[in-house]
Structure 1
Amino acid sequence: MKLWTIVIALALLCAPSLSQDGYTNQLVSVIDEVGSVVTVPLCPEKIVCLTPAASEVISALGDSDRLVALTQDCTMPPALQKKESIGEAGREADVERILELDPALVIAKTGSLFPEEYEVQLTNYGIPVIRYRVLHMDTLMPMIEDLGLILNRQEEAQEMRDRVGGYYDIVLKRTVGIPEDGKPSVYFMSMGHFDWTASSASTGHERIIEAGGNNIAKDLEGKVPHVDMEWVIEQNPEVIVYSMPTSQYEGMTPSVEEMEQKREEIMSLPGFDQIDAVKTGKVYIVDINMASGLVEVVNMLYYAKWFHPDLFEDVDPRAVHEEIYEKYFDMEIERIHQVHPESTSYN
């Protein structure tokens, strides 16, 4: 697991006046996902968040009241959708409105998902910006620690890390010794495209490997290579996983019917009836939102159970999903389905 996001816990006393929380105006410094050391106020009263995983963790830590505005992709828990919107996503963020809100902290995505000139505008105004995208467990865990420090919720953050990390460790410990010839070949359909996949430079690849699979596209160039369907047929993957974007479903999460329709569409592609994954029914649909935030560990458990049902016979990803939603968001998931089929039985 990467260690470059280790938190630097520096408490720096400033002016003696008390904040609304009763804290003297203290600062803490963290190293964000891009490796920047950023100093921010302890327990910032107003936060603007453009990173869904961060708003989710802030809510899970009990500090959603500090979130004054969000991008529209910050949808978990659903109560956040009542917050002021400052754009569809980071690229479309209304920087002028952010400046008007005068937050003590802005949390943004990495790279071009939040243009550098936006950050310059904010920092020139005295607003610190920390960046996280969080597409893998090795970036989720440091972010939880960072936010726990910033919000003075270290104990709650450690409990969250232990809970989520414990399930992640189950996957890693059980798959580490699987021989290469015991790993199923996997084709990952990225971001709602049948012909987009994931090379070894992508987090999609890491997820497949850690769950005990063999990514058929690992040697292709670029993070998200585009391939011909004929090539996929020739590779004859034993498992197909399709990442379903929010543009392909109507609600907060996809319905079983929407996912089954997409699954049938994939299995009916010309020539796909020759592929082992289709013959055995091992074609899975995953809500793209499962690839980030606290439910990323649930995603990992599903992958592991799909790839190695016997090895993970005692693991119930749905139960873990329910545990996380109930523990951190006081939500039931009876009507929430973000993968299909959930079972490893295909008949």
Structure 2
Amino acid sequence: MSLKLRVFFAALLSIVIITTACSSKAPVQQKQETKAQKITVTDLVGRQVEVTVPANKVVGIWPGALRLITYVDGVKKLAGVENIDIKPADGRTYNMAYRDELSKLPVIGQGGPDSAPDPEKLVEVKPDVIFAAYADKAKADDLQTKTGIPVVVISYGKLATFDEDVYKSINLIGKITGEETRAHEVVDYIKNCQKDLNDRTKGIPNDKKPTVYVGALGMKGMHGIESTQGNYPPFKNINAKNVVDETGQKGSVMIDREKLLSWNPDVIFIDEGGLPLVKQDYQKDPKFYQSLKAVKDGHVYGLLPYNNYTTNIDTAIADSYYAGKVLYPEQFKDIDPAKKADEVYKFFYGKPLYDKMVELYGGFKQITLGS
């Protein structure tokens, strides 16, 4: 090979090496440039909030904020936790799933529906963003001013279970934490469960449906048989014939027990959080309960309590499948409610929780009030 040719190939090789080296560095530089950036998001009360994404450290304050964070990102980025979640909280499924991890985090305030935040403790843990549930604009602005930390308001909406505001909140958390894929998966999973429940039951004629009532629902504490709901999400999901819906009321309702006798539903479900109160009441007035068709026919069943520091959406989904299995066995013949519950818990938390819920409350089963 001539000297000129050798020089030409050497020069060509140098160009290739230089070009390759530049191209291999380019993605690294691009990744560094997009690693952290400031964006403006609109929170659930319409506030424009500037945040740095992806946020590496976050906290959740007030009812339900921490739950939605764990749905999206587990506990990986939590910088602190309210005192109400440091302690074991049975039935609050995210607390049960991540009890060890939560107990080791710094306390950022007392927590609870009527609690005031602790700006000093929030500043101490240095979160990149504070996710706040059930906060109005004034509260959020005040806390942001006091801490100098972006406060992003999230919400469970009016239904507090399967609501567009829940989906917006989950996706907003995903966007800010860099977990958009997981957030979309969570929203899709909830919506797909709803669709499945609706598809199984939408074709059942109304005159073929049993009438149904749910009692002993928790509402800032335990209550007896008179505590119920209109537009009760697990019933709504399966197109059930909820006798309370005729009142036109949505959400929590305290009825007169004579009204329950008047409705005399075919099937009664009892929220097992309030079951002890119902059993105590039965001992005081068995005649009232024995006058109910559902009690006489043995059609009383237990549901897991899902309202605890706002809604455990996971348990509400599990309850929906069990109620469907009881009311429409043919449409749900492929469903094992216990297995379905654990499938749901595993999706949200990566671990089964149904057996623990059975230990605490009794689980999905027929109930005899006099026993």
Which TM-score bucket, shorter chain as reference?
0.7 to 0.9
Report how many aligned residue pairs link the two structures: 308
Counterpart of 2:176 in structure 1 is 150
| C-alpha distance in structure 1 between counterparts of 2:197 and 2:241, whole Å | 15
What letter is aligned with 1:95?
Answer: D
Counterpart of 1:128 in structure 2 is 151
What letter is aligned with 2:345?
Answer: Y
Counterpart of 2:302 in structure 1 is 284
| TM-score w.r.t. length of structure 2 | 0.70
Q: Highest Rg: 1 or 2? A: 2
Q: Is the aligned partner of 1:137 residue 2:165?
A: no
Q: SS at 1:66's partner residue?
A: coil
| C-alpha distance in structure 2 between counterparts of 1:344 and 1:61, whole Å | 35
| C-alpha distance in structure 1 between counterparts of 2:102 and 2:52, whole Å | 23
Q: SS at 1:144's partner residue?
A: helix
| C-alpha distance in structure 1 between counterparts of 2:128 and 2:200, whole Å | 43
Displacement of 1:180 after TM fit?
Answer: 1.8
| C-alpha distance in structure 1 between counterparts of 2:209 and 2:202, whole Å | 11
Q: 2:105 aligns with which of 66, 78, 83?
A: 83
Q: SS at 1:87's partner residue?
A: coil
Counterpart of 1:209 in structure 2 is 236
Q: SS at 2:230's partner residue?
A: coil
Give % identity.
Answer: 20
Displacement of 1:23 after TM fit?
Answer: 1.5
- Structure 1 spans left out of the alignment, 5+ residues: 1-17, 249-258
Displacement of 1:232 after TM fit?
Answer: 0.9
Q: Is the aligned partner of 1:274 residue 2:291?
A: yes
What do you get for the CA RMSD once the two structures are aligned? 3.4
Displacement of 1:328 after TM fit?
Answer: 4.4
Counterpart of 1:325 in structure 2 is 345
Q: 2:132 aligns with which of 108, 113, 117?
A: 108
1:93–1:235 CA distance, 2 compared to 1 (3 A): same
| TM-score w.r.t. length of structure 1 | 0.74
Tell me, yes or no, if the aligned pair for 1:241 and 1:283 is still in contact at 8 Å: yes
| C-alpha distance in structure 2 between counterparts of 1:66 and 1:313, whole Å | 41
Q: Is the aligned partner of 1:232 residue 2:260?
A: yes
1:56–1:222 CA distance, 2 compared to 1 (3 A): closer
Tell me, yes or no, if the aligned pair for 2:63 and 2:113 is still in contact at 8 Å: no
1:294–1:341 CA distance, 2 compared to 1 (3 A): closer
What letter is aligned with 2:321?
Answer: L
What letter is aligned with 2:162?
Answer: M
Q: SS at 1:40's partner residue?
A: strand
Give runs of aligned pairs for residues 135-214 of structure 1, distance below 5 A.
Answer: 135-139=160-164, 140-189=166-215, 190-191=217-218, 192-194=222-224, 195-200=226-231, 204=232, 206-214=233-241
1:19–1:221 CA distance, 2 compared to 1 (3 A): same
Tell me, yes or no, if the aligned pair for 2:65 and 2:154 is still in contact at 8 Å: no
Displacement of 1:310 after TM fit?
Answer: 2.1
